Amino acid sequence: MMLHLQTCRKGNMKNFDIPDTDYMYPGHLACPGCGASLGMRFALKALGENTMIVLPACCWSIIAGPFPYSAVKVPLFHTAFETAASVASGLRAALDMKGQKEVTVMAWAGDGGTFDIGLQALSGAAERNEDFIYVCYDNEAYMNTGIQRSSSTPEGAWTTTTPEGYLKTRPKKNIVEILAAHRIPYVATASVAFPDDFIRKLQKARQIKGTRFIHLFSPCPPGWKMSSDDTIAIARLAVHTKVFPLYEIEDGEKYTINIKPKGLPVQEYFKLQGRFRYLNEADYTRIQHDIDHRWAMLEAKAAVGNKQYLRHTA
Amino acid sequence: MKQVLMGNHAVSYGARLARVEVISAYPITPQTQIVEELSELCARGELRARFVNVESEHSAMASCIGASAGGARAFTATSSQGLALMHELLHWASGARLPIVMANVNRAMAPGWSIWTEQTDSLAQRDTGWLQFYCESNQEVLDTTIQAFKISEQLLLPSMIVLDAFFLSHTYEPVDVPEPNEVDAFLPPYRPKIKMEVNDPHAFGALVAPENYYEFRYNIQKDFERAPEVIERVGREFGEQFGRYYGLVEAYQIEDADLVLVTSSTITSTARAVIKERRARGEKVGLLKIRVFRPFPFAALRQALLGVPKVAVIDRNISFGHHGIFYSELKSALYGQDGAPLVFGFVAGLGGRDVTPQTINEILDFTKAHDFPEKEIYWIGLKSQESEDEKREYSEVSASAAK
């Protein structure tokens, strides 16, 4: 097992096809090891300068910097917590009316703004198939306000509102299935540990018209009680333990699994994070069973829609 | 061209003549016909606009904010519960300095469910940084809708056009609908100096420290302070072109009046008829309509009312634990001024209860018969649950009205 962890910490050196131009400035306000800042950097590399960001309340409201600064080189509109999808709808409408159809509107929201308070607006926009990309960078709790549980927080996780003795007992909400159920053209999961996969998905999404949703796994060192140099290792482990599989759903039906997991035991993922320190062997067994079951369901859906793995990777 | 229009369609045609580019709305009685007509106009190609059928009023205002930030002329309409749901984003629209225009059909707040008119919904939003225009007729609704875009875009502040449920929204009146080219000459296209633009990227609405926030708020207030002049100038420009003038307030027979009635919205029309009758009988009574509630027209009200012995304010609204809202704001405008009148506050017509000529006569009679307003609120026409005091008060009012 140690060997797997070492591999996940080191990764395999190889050449990723990642665009050179950066649209993020140095000096942003993210914590060390923040998955969300890395994610934005990759997202803007993928989408380029013809992009506008709609940003509801989330960690990025701080990361983007206070007035009069900005951490990004594209227009950015800060808005209220629950309005990413509805403000993006209006901005898209304005750009279409002004003939600026080539500009990509990207809503960039956390899990609280997506799974919880912004879900109604997102569902409305997705049902209308509004033409924008929505990225939910998921750090599995309200991190900006100081680690309170959201409906994205996984079972068994400690947060300040699910303390010891009152840990979260319900599973993480399946936002991907909710979006897929709207039959929008493109839904994908992605991870900051797989930048080439994330960038490819954004570039693919950019070519599609309609609502495109990307669920980005984004570790949070202070919130997950993990070492800030383990962000990538933990994100890799999430994929290889099948905790967070990487896959795409086209038109709500065609499932493609993008990375074949190594199938590591879930403890490998849990043990690097203090937020899971209250789990015991019985919990591991139960959660492992659940993960295996959900993986089998995903494989079955992929087999129906599009039975192939795009590639095998470490 | 003269057309017979319901108030709701007067809003729709005003928005069409203003060439709105993005409309985002959610249905609510009694507003719905405004946006139904606009979606028809879009479907028929008579209005080149994107109509966003959102899932709530909250999202309606949010998408207007997004559209306005993108440089488009944005419009929505709502009422009552819908307006209350938008509350957070009303602050956002004004704080972001976005000249969105919205029609609000005044409707009482639940519970119990009421679809009938009352001003408490819009007046509860008075501190959100929106200009507010209370309209008396369908003509005024259409004209104000057109003017509101020009006023808002000059001030970079959003506007709310307010009309009474049913008494205007569903009532048909002859309305002179201007030709599109005439309105184009009055209202140029919206060309914001700053907007979301890929060639000139900025962050809008970022975290702001106490060192700067205070000045942002000061700037909004400064623009509200110059708003009366802008509203009057735009009103004059409109008048010169279309022959219909609107200001902050509208006075009727107040020059030598020893009692002036202060009203807003459709109660004004009824009151004007009563004043006309009583003038004909030789009574020195007058009428002042407040058209613009935000900015509150301090100077115009002082000019009209200082030196008048008595003023009676009719409020179709209430701030619980305080009193009628026009009454309280008017008193604040007159407080400490030389020649300030005695101000009597009457709450009437809540939840769409008719305010009839008889109601208005009762109010005038009561005010004439009393030397001093002993109570903050006089309720007119209470049917039940009144205290012994109020029963006495009411019978007194009725008795003096009967005289």
Mean pLDDT to the nearest integer, B90-112: 98
* Confidence grade of residue A18 (pLDDT, cut at 50, 70, 90): confident
Q: Could you tell me the two tokens for A200?
A: 């490819």
pLDDT, mean of residues B300-315 = 98
B145-163 tens-digit pLDDT: 999 999 999 999 999 999 9
Looking at per-residue confidence, does B401 or A252 come out higher? Answer: A252
Contacts of residue A233, Cβ cutoff 8 Å, sequence gap at least 6 = A5, A8, A9, A193, A272
With CA atoms as reference, the chain A residue closest to B73 would be: A94
Q: Which residues of A touch B196 (CB under 8 A)?
A: 52, 75, 77, 91
pLDDT tens digits along A263-301: 999 999 999 999 999 999 999 999 999 999 999 999 999
CB contact at 8 A, A174 and A145: no
Structure tokens at B72: 């488009």
For helices A231-240 and A35-47, angle between their N-to-C axes, nearest 10 degrees: 80
Question: pTM for the full model?
Answer: 0.95
* pLDDT (0 to 100) of residue A314: 40
Provide the pLDDT confidence category of residue A307 given band limits of 50, 70 and 90: very low
**What whole-number distance in Å separates Cα of residue A26 and Cα of residue B78?**
44
- CA B383-B386-B390 angle, to 5 degrees, is 105
Return the exposure string of B30-42: e unless at least 16 CB atoms fall within 10 Å of the residue's CB, then b: bbbbbbebbbebb
With beta carbons less than 8 A apart as the criterion, state whether A235 and A35 touch.
yes
Q: How many CB atoms lie within 10 A of CB B95?
A: 17
**For residue B268, what pLDDT is reported?**
98
- CB nearest A120 (choices: B55, B64, B212): B55
- Least Cα separation, residue B98 to chain A (angstroms): 13
> Is the distance from CB of A181 to CB of A162 less than 8 angstroms?
no
CB A29 within 8 A of CB A67: no
pLDDT of residue A8: 65
H/E segment holding residue B132: strand B131-134
Q: Is the pLDDT of residue B194 over 80?
A: yes
ipTM of the complex, rounded to two decimals: 0.94
* Average pLDDT of span A294-312: 76
pLDDT score at A181? 98
Contact flag B201-A73 (C-beta cutoff 8 Å):
yes
**The pLDDT of residue B401 is above 80:** no
- Give residue A7's pLDDT: 66
Could you say which residues from 124 to 163 on chain A have a Cβ atom under 8 Å away from some Cβ of chain B? Answer: 124-125, 127-128
Please list every residue in chain A whose beta carbon sits closer than 8 Å to the beta carbon of residue B70: 52, 90-91, 93-95, 98
Say if residue A307 is exposed, middle or buried (CB neighbours under 10 Å; 0-12, 13-18, 19+): exposed
Residue of B nearest to A89 (CA): B63
Condensed to tens digits (0 to 9), the pLDDT of residues B108-144 reads 999 999 999 999 999 999 999 999 999 999 999 999 9
Would the pLDDT of A306 be above 60?
no
pLDDT at A273: 98
The predicted model gives B375-399 an average pLDDT of 72
B-chain CB neighbours of A94 within 8 Å are: 21-22, 50, 66-72, 74
Average pLDDT score, chain A: 94
Q: For residue B60, which residues of chain A lie inside 8 Å, CB to CB?
A: 86
pLDDT (0 to 100) of residue A311: 46
Is residue B402 less than 8 Å (CB to CB) from chain A? Answer: no
B58 near A CB under 8 A: yes
Shortest distance, CA A247 to any CA of chain B (angstroms): 29
Q: Is B208's pLDDT higher than 90?
A: yes
The reported pLDDT for the residue numbered B395 is: 61
Q: Is the pLDDT of residue A10 over 70?
A: no
Across A131-142, average pLDDT: 98
Query: Is there a contact between B21 and B73 (Cβ–Cβ < 8 Å)?
Result: yes
pLDDT at position A84:
98
* Residue A225 sits at the chain B interface (C-beta within 8 Å): no
Tell me: pLDDT of A309 over 80.
Answer: no
Provide the percentage of residues in chain B whose pLDDT is more than 70: 95
Selection from A157, A143, A139 nearest residue A38 by Cα:
A139
Is there a contact between A82 and B201 if contact means CB atoms under 8 Å apart? no
Nearest CB among A78, A88, A120 relative to B204 is that of: A78
Residue B79 has pLDDT above 90, yes or no: yes
| Token pair 């009393």: residue | B370
Cβ-based neighbours of A9, under 8 Å, separated by 6 or more:
A230, A232, A233
Q: Which residues of B touch A117 (CB under 8 A)?
A: none
